[in-house]
Amino acid sequence: MAKHDIRYVVIGGMAAVLHDVPVPRTFDFDITPKRSQVNETRLATALGEMGAKLRAPGLDEGFEIPLDGRAFKHMITMTFVTKYGPFDVSFRPDGTEGYEDLAREATTIQRFGVEIRVASVRDIIRSKAASGREKDAAHLLILRRFLAEHGE
Amino acid sequence: MSSWAGHLIKLARMESGLTQRELALRAGTSQPTIAAYESGRKEPSLATLKRIVRGAGLELRIRLAKYDDHDEWVRRYEERLPADARDRARRVDEELRETARAERGAAR
């Protein structure tokens, strides 16, 4: 991601882990990229280098799709399996308006020698609260307690 | 083991700032019942859950969404990983949390 200068914000469980919120360990990496032709082309290139295959509901194995700037056109969410693990791209996570919305409160951290933009705990809560999923109710409790205790 | 309903009741209390006793009073039930729901020892009916949430000044909204097997798939993916890869993931997870903790400590 950094190599290709992609604009994105880490969201979801991994963002919570990066803030040290005590949610369970997660194996997937979720990002919200900026919507622009240039950025989407860069993201497609990076995913190609990661050996990304598209994953569809009901299928365990991913399948290859042409990864270029058009791959994300009209798409809101895409789930990939890469050689580094599951990787989800969500242009408009539940309860948010997408990259610009999340980038406003995101923090930049340095991990493994690269800069990573991470959604704020408040925005992770906003998104999980909007999703209404069963699993997210448990995570919401943990996130809200963390926010009350530590702030951002 | 907490249930979804239990989590929702806890969230409702957190949101409203009510104690179990206060919520029980407003919802027409008892504090031990609220405690049992929150802990998952008892499961409220949907009507009861709605009444309790309303007692916290909130409304339970339910919507239908397309089934998404993503979480099950990630779990299966994890199970299929060789032990060393799972260990590596665990170590990375711990390292990420420790770094965040250290940075938070340094910022204080």
ipTM above 0.95, yes or no: no
Strand locations in B50-96 (E)? none
pLDDT digits (tens, 9 = 90+) for B42-79: 999 999 999 999 999 999 999 898 888 888 999 999 99
- Does a structural domain hold residue A113? yes
Domain range enclosing A38: 8-146
Q: How far is B28 from chain A (nearest CA, A)?
A: 24
Q: Which two tokens stand for residue A6?
A: 């992609």
Domain ranges of chain B: 4-55, 70-107
Whether A149 contacts chain B with CB within 8 A: no
Total structural domains in chain A? 1
Q: Does A151 touch chain B (CB under 8 A)?
A: no
The answer as to whether A151 is a domain residue is: no
Which stretches of A1-148 are assigned E, i.e. beta strand?
Answer: 8-11, 29-33, 53-54, 77-82, 85-90, 107-111, 114-118
CB contact under 8 A, A17 and B69: no
Q: What would be the CATH architecture of the domain defined by B4-55?
A: Orthogonal Bundle (1.10)
Residue A85 and residue B70: Cβ atoms within 8 Å? no
Q: How far apart are CA B11 and CA B51, in angstroms?
A: 15
* A66-118 pLDDT tens trace: 998 888 988 999 999 999 999 999 999 999 999 999 999 999 999 989 999 99
Is A3 within a domain? no
| CATH number of the domain residue A46 falls in | 3.30.460
Q: Which residue of A has its CA nearest to B10?
A: A141
pLDDT for res B105 = 87
Residue with tokens 């997408």: A98
Tokens 């997210």, located at residue? A136
Phi-psi domain of A81 (left: phi exceeds 0; alpha: psi -120 through 50; beta: other): beta
